[in-house]
Structures are given as C-alpha cells and as structure tokens.
Chain A
Amino acid sequence: MKQAAESVSIRGVEKSFGRTKVLKGVDLAIEREEFVILLGPSGCGKTTLLRIVAGLERAEAGEIWISDRRVDPLEPKERNVAMVFQSYALYPHMNVFNNQSFSLRLRHTPKDEIRARVHQAAKTLGLEQLLERYPRELSGGQRQRVSMGRAIVRSPKVFLFDEPLSNLDAQLRVHMRGEIKELHHHLNTTSIYVTHDQVEAMTMGDRIVVMNGGIIEQIGSPLEVFDKPKNRFVAGFVGSPAMNFIDGELATNGSRLVLRVPGQAPVPLGEAGTRRTSGPATIGIRPHHLRIVGDGPLRGTVKDVQPTGVETILLCRWADSEILIQTTDRVLVSAGEDINVSADPADIHLFDSETGERLDA
C-alpha cells in the first residue's frame, strides 16, 4: 500500500464565483510526505482551494502540479488524489466493503487484490467487524473511518482532508487526530488538511498555511506562526483565547522603545531595534503572557473572573479597551477590583496600526 509520495505545487491560482473573487492568487509549495494545514476563517476559500487541487472545480488562472506533472487540465480521476469530506459522503446504498472497494472496482482491479486491500485498510482503521454494515448503521466516528478507508485503499498520491473531524464530539476528535497523524506517518503520503480548529492546526501539521479572504497570510511551522505572526490578522486568528491588541503611539525613552496608551503608563517594548520609533502602532500580547503585578503599566477594572480549574481567565477593561488575562495562578481578585498588569517586552508583538504588518523582527 506504500507508494512514493509526491509534492504538490499550487501556482497563482485564482477563482471567482460569479462576481466574487474567492481566491486571489494563491501560491503554495508542499513537499512530499508533508502534512500541511490550511487554517482560516469561514468563507476564506479553503474548501475551494482543496476542490481545485482535487479537480472538482476549475480555476480561472494558475496551475496545479503534482510532482512533475501538471494536473489542472486533468479530470479528477486522473490525478490520483483522494479526499475525505466533512460530510463523509458515503454511498448510502453500499455496505462498508463496497464503499471502500468502489474505486477499485471501477478500475477493474482483480477481485483478490480488492479483497486484500480493503481488509488491509479495515485492519488499519479497526473496521474489520463492520464490513457488512451500511452507512446508516454506523456511528459518526465509524463513518469517518470508513471515509478514510475509502481514501486509503486507492493508495493515492495526495490526501485531501476537508474538516474531517468537525462533526465528531470532542473526545472522539482528540482520538481521531492521533489516528490521522499516525496514518500519515504510516502511509508516507502528502496531505493537505483543512480545519478551523486551533488545536488541530497546532498539533497535526508540519506546516500551517493561514488563509484569509482568498489569500495566504502566512506559511510556517505551527510554532513559527504562533510565536512570530507576520501580521495582525494571523496574530489574532491563531491561538485561543485570542491575542489582545492595544493601540497607541510609539515613542522612545532613552534607548528603549515604549508605546504610549491614552490613560495608561507607557508600555516598555524593549530595545529600539524596530523599523519605526514613532507613529501609531498596535501591540499584541497573548493572554497567558500577561501578569498581574502591582507596578504594571496597564491598569484596568476586572469585569469577569472565569476559573476553569487548570487556569483562570480574567476580563479586564479600561476606557473602551478590553483585554483577557490567562493565568495558572489561583488569583484572588474578584470582579470590580482594579488591577495592574504587565508583560515581558520579549512577549509583546508590535504591528503597524494601518497595514497590520509586523514591525519587530
């Protein structure tokens, strides 16, 4: 069932539906055996991009290459790409065995080989007992597995996953996450995986591609994207709870850079090594980087305290700004109290207020 994996190259792909431009020039090179995550808000074009790679949709401009073969003029079945749909899309009139063997039967694969391959896939996915069942007789998790099995038996060159776990409950999702990852290593295929689940994106992928409004905002390893978001959108989208943003004016205080926030003490930003030392800017601080300290520069009123056991989330407000603080300490503040918070300058991200581009290195 193993097969040399292939690289995928998406070059300048554009797509419109009617007058709306859904993909505005997407370039993405995926290495062989890589597991790439497409992450982005609803409607940003993730599914559309996946469908273009699969051949279910035609792009107006751009090319799709699988290894050294240009595939965008080809029919879906000639691309040797398998897709796992969010809805599973199992054939309701076929039992599990026939669902999985359908593609092989269409290609007139010898019966013995079909049997062997389906049983192999069923073993990998723990479906051996279910081969005679019909989709309506399966649970959600089992259906999900069958739809993966259907993709595996074909030994495709490229696997496409479109939010395959979003219909499962939380526990099963964690379990299947592990299974898909294991499967990926086991089969050595190249995979593109669409999700808008933060945890899935962070834990499963070799690289994350953050999309927004039909363009790619950033490509990088999960930690790169998390630690060095290229712009304000990525910073705000990746990570949960989301990053806090505070607007202000850049200024220098000796050799140090600070952000002046109306009604607050200047927030120290470290050495003035950035591209700019004045003008409007936005800082981003992740909730878990904020600490409650008596002499912190930012002062606000606690509006809500949400203890979850492991950690506590505080909602803090001043003027018309609102920030979240996430801490594993057992904090002894209650709603209505005023607190001061600060963050290590190294943990503060700096963005241009207008373009949203990252300013610090």
Chain B
Amino acid sequence: MRNQLKRLASAIGTHGFLIIFVLISLFPVYLMFVTSLKSQAELIQNVFALPHDAKWDNYPLIVIQRGYYRAVINSLLFAGSVTIITIALSLLAAYAFAVFDFVGRQLLFVLVLVGLMVSEVSILIPVYQLLKSANLLNTFVGLVLPQIALGLSFGIFLMTTFFREVPKDLVDAARLDGCTDLQLLMKVMIPVGLPAISALAVIEFLWTWNSFFLPLVIATKQELMPLAVSIIDFMGRFTFNYELVATTCVIMFVPILILYILTQRSFRRGVTMGAVK
C-alpha cells in the first residue's frame, strides 16, 4: 500500500515535470501559430489568446501574393543540396579516416576537428571578400559552398566516429568476400551507418534551413534569397509586422516537422547511438 502510494507519487511527479516541460517548450510554437492567424489590430489587443476570428489569409498573402513561394523553393534547394553534398563528402572523408591507414591521418583529422571551432560570424567578411573576388556573390554556388565548408567538419567528425565503431572483422569479412574499396563503402559501411547518416541529414538540413548570416550577406537578390533571410522584409525601421513574421516562421517550421517525422525513428537511434549496444 505504502509502496503503491510512493510509486504513484513518483509517477505523478515525473509526468508532472514532463508535462510542464512540454508546455514551456510548446508555448513559443503556440504563440507563433496564433499570431500568424491574427490581424495587426487584433494582435495589439490580444497577444496570447486564440484569435476571435482566424485570419488564414496571411498564408496565401505571403506565399502567393507577395511571391514568397520563391523563397520557399530557394530554401529547399539550398538546404537540400547542402545536405546532400555535405553528406556525400563527409562519408568519403570519414571512410578514409576510419578504414585506411595513411601518412598524416592524425594530423588531417585534427585539422578537421579544428574546423568545428570556426564560427560562421567570424569568417563572414573573409568569405565575402573571397566570393566577391571569385565573382560568386549572388550565385547559387557562392551560397552553397561556404555552407558546405562550415558543415563538413561536423559531418566528417560524426561519420568517422561512427565508422570507427564498425567492427574490424566486418570490414575484413567484406574484403575477403571480394569488396573493392568503393563496394565496401557503398554496400557495407553506408547501410550499417544509416542511423548516423540520417541523424546527420536532419541536423545538416535544419542548420542550413535556419542559416541566416551567410545568406544574408551573400544572397541579396530576391531570386536567390532563402526564407530565413526574407523574414527581414517585415522588419522595417519603424514598423514590425509581427503577424507576417509569425506566418513566415510557421511556413519555415513545416518542412522541419515533416523531415523530423519522416526520419524520427532512425534519428532517435542516431542520437542515442553508442549509449546502448
């Protein structure tokens, strides 16, 4: 009896804590969503409550009338290609670091790790200069390249760590079975590393999707501008269209949600990998 009560109390405690935690985490999302459904006038009178009269027009207004479908496409292309290229390059580099023994491997790997410490903001100006002299400002290539470079350190680091965990016997068995180096990568390492790869894909996509500073500086033309940057359109010097910013944020939020749901299972496995065998 005593024990049961104790267990009940602890269950209530844990769940209560989790519920509060979820509410706190979800509150900004809620606020963002309801704000996107309000008119400017209503927003001023009533910030937190549900809208009296949901104003769905904000969505078509932004996406179609103001032509932001363009920015959505830009963002998808931008994040998509950065993700794919970063993963492809990370896999190749990580495979070499983890499986081959070559001169300077340690040193190179340390250099890769140093890349983890480089912040986006600190290299903004040099990158700008570099792209300018290469005539890559306001081009898709110029937008994508630095983003890949910034993400590569983490990608290589994550995949190398994972590939090193692949049992040596497995690699040897594949060699004896007749795999070439490329076949070993494609048919054994990548399938085995899928949880880590999908984790990396989600992280890389999110990060690029939300990336702000680099695109802000590099892609000033409307045709190239990703969604995250286009939000500043609503932040004038004297006015600030909260409801339109919120609408754009919701639009930005949707693909992330979809991506997370799609990869949720292997992502969770990836995040906790190594914790359990």
- Interfacial residues, chain A to chain B (CB-CB below 8 A): 51, 54-56, 75-77, 81-83, 85-89, 91-93, 102-103, 106-107, 150, 154
- A93 to chain B minimum Cβ distance, whole angstroms, is 4
Name, among B172, B176, B178, B183, the residue most crowded by chain A CB atoms within 10 Å (CB to CB).
Answer: B176
| B170: Cβ under 8 A from any A Cβ | yes
A180 to B144, CA, bound (A): 57
A85 and B178 form a contact (CB under 8 A) = no
Contact of A83 among B170, B172, B192 (CB under 8 A): B172
A81 and B192 form a contact (CB under 8 A) = no
If A85-B169, A87-B169, A91-B170 touch, whether A56 touches B191 (CB-CB below 8 Å) is no
- A90 to chain B minimum Cβ distance, whole angstroms, is 8
If A87-B167, A87-B169 touch, whether A92 touches B192 (CB-CB below 8 Å) is yes
- A107 to chain B minimum Cβ distance, whole angstroms, is 6
B192 and A56 form a contact (CB under 8 A) = no
Of chain A, the residue at the smallest CB distance from B191 is A93
Mark out the residues of chain B between 166 and 213 whose CB falls within 8 Å of any chain A CB in the assembled complex: 167, 169-170, 172-179, 183, 187-188, 191-192, 194
A82 and B176 form a contact (CB under 8 A) = yes
A89 and B172 form a contact (CB under 8 A) = yes
Contact of A106 among B167, B170, B183, B191 (CB under 8 A): B183
A294 to B277, CA, bound (A): 60
Of chain B, the residue at the smallest CB distance from A77 is B178
A76 and B176 form a contact (CB under 8 A) = yes
Interface of B is mostly: helix
User: Which residues from A are CB-within-8-Å of B175?
Assistant: 55-56, 75-77
User: Which residues from B are CB-within-8-Å of A86?
Assistant: 169
- A281 to chain B minimum Cβ distance, whole angstroms, is 45
User: Which residues from A are CB-within-8-Å of B172?
Assistant: 51, 54, 56, 76, 83, 85, 89
Contact of B167 among A56, A77, A89 (CB under 8 A): A89
Name, among B170, B178, B192, the residue most crowded by chain A CB atoms within 10 Å (CB to CB).
Answer: B178
- A360 to chain B minimum Cβ distance, whole angstroms, is 44
Contact of B188 among A75, A91, A154 (CB under 8 A): A91
A259 to B5, CA, bound (A): 78
User: Which residues from B are CB-within-8-Å of A150?
Assistant: 173, 177
Mark out the residues of chain B between 149 and 175 whose CB falls within 8 Å of any chain A CB in the assembled complex: 167, 169-170, 172-175
Task: Map CB proximity to A onto B249-272 as digits: 1 under 8 Å, 0 otherwise.
Answer: 000000000000000000000000
B173 and A106 form a contact (CB under 8 A) = no
A1 to B37, CA, bound (A): 72
